Amino acid sequence: MMDITDRAKLLLGMASLEDLAKPNSKEYVRWQNIKRGRARFGAVEIEELGKLYPNWAFWLTTGNVAPEIGQTSPAYDQANETSGKQNAG
């Protein structure tokens, strides 16, 4: 099972650094260091990823999904997208 750091790394891998911070800013360098494994995620970074991916924020922080309120995960969305395409025929 993934922990919060694993989930944050997954989302960071999907994100563009430009979506998280202005290039050449202090925050941008921080994100680069996290992405390269030179720094750890802090609460601020987890919060920023939750803002960037609001429909995955609950999953990011808890590891759970609540599709009835629009809170899913990347894997949940991918599985539903795949199953929807299979049923479309």
| 14-70 per-position pLDDT tens digit | 999 999 999 999 999 999 999 999 999 999 999 999 999 999 999 999 999 999 999
CA proximity to 11, closest of 77, 87, 79, 82? 77
**Domain edges within the chain:** 4-87
The pLDDT, as a whole number, for residue 86 is: 60
Architecture of domain 4-87: Orthogonal Bundle (1.10)
The answer, yes or no, to whether residue 87 has pLDDT greater than 60, is no
Q: Specify the higher pLDDT residue, 59 or 83.
A: 59
Residue 42's identity, in one-letter code, is: G
The pLDDT, as a whole number, for residue 27 is: 97
| Tokens 């990347």, residue located | 74
The pLDDT, as a whole number, for residue 6 is: 98
Residue 83: pLDDT band (50, 70, 90) is confident
The answer, yes or no, to whether residue 88 has pLDDT greater than 80, is no
